[in-house]
Amino acid sequence: MKKLFLIIGAPGSGKTTDAQLIAKKHTTITHYSTGDMFRAEIASGSERGAIIDSFVSKGNLVPIDIAIETIVTAIKNAPNNVVIIDGYPRSDEQMNTLDKYLKQESEVSLINVIEVVVSKEIACQRVLGRAADAVVARSDDNAEIFNNRMKLYTDPLKSIQEFYTSKNLLTQINGERTIEIIVNEIDELIQSRI
């Protein structure tokens, strides 16, 4: 049985960094970031990568069929039974599609959805700070695309929060503290549920 944890958060919330650090601490945990998986597909030069790029480069969501297939394949192929995916779901449709998949897949259980909460101001500062750093800069880290990514994150958020709260699966984590404190808190939560 695979135990799935989802991490959601605004662009710049630190969700991918947090999850990477947790997976680094435990050889029994596998982590995937939807954004990283899409960037890898783009970098591979495949046709699918070119389609994905036409969405990611504008800060738009890649189509639902690509998004769900990407995470389902990742979960299935994960070498460990504890799987953290950050960056999913990002819409009601993605949430409902995953819910349907989980209902018919007895080998995967959604254990918790962790929301890394940061204010829009902090998120913006972090992303635009990253944009100014040539080593970590991403092509979608500029003010205009950031605003689009932020809006696409915020629009469905309430509905996503309500859905997982009603299932008693949502945990909100204050993402404005030091990375160490945030990572420890998420790690403790995961360890207490596996």
C-beta closer to ligand AMP: residue 20 or 60: 60
* 67 near ligand AMP, rule: CB under 6 A: yes
Question: Is residue 149 part of the contact set for ligand AMP (CB under 6 A)?
Answer: yes
Return the residue of 4, 8, 18, 38 that touches ligand AMP, per CB under 6 A: 38
Task: Give the DSSP H/E element, type plus range, for residue 114.
Answer: strand 108-117
101 binds ligand AMP (CB under 6 A): no
Question: Given the rule CB under 6 A, which of 34-42, 75-83, 113-121, 166-174 is the region that contacts ligand AMP?
Answer: 34-42
Closest distance of CB 189 from ligand AMP, Å: 20
Told to check if 10 binds ligand AMP by CB under 6 A, we report no
- Please select the residue that binds ligand AMP; options are 34, 97, 112, 171, rule is CB under 6 A: 34
Query: Shortest approach of ligand AMP to residue 159 CB, angstroms?
Result: 15
62 binds ligand AMP (CB under 6 A): yes
Regarding 126 and contact with ligand AMP (CB under 6 A), the answer is no
Q: What are phi and psi of 116, to 5 degrees?
A: -90, 110
Position 55 contacts ligand AMP (CB under 6 A): yes
| Cα separations in angstroms, 34 against 7, 38, 104, 149 | 10, 6, 22, 14
Find the residue with minimal CB distance to ligand AMP: 35
Binding interface with ligand AMP (CB under 6 A) = 11, 34-35, 38, 55-56, 59-62, 67, 87-88, 90, 94, 140, 149
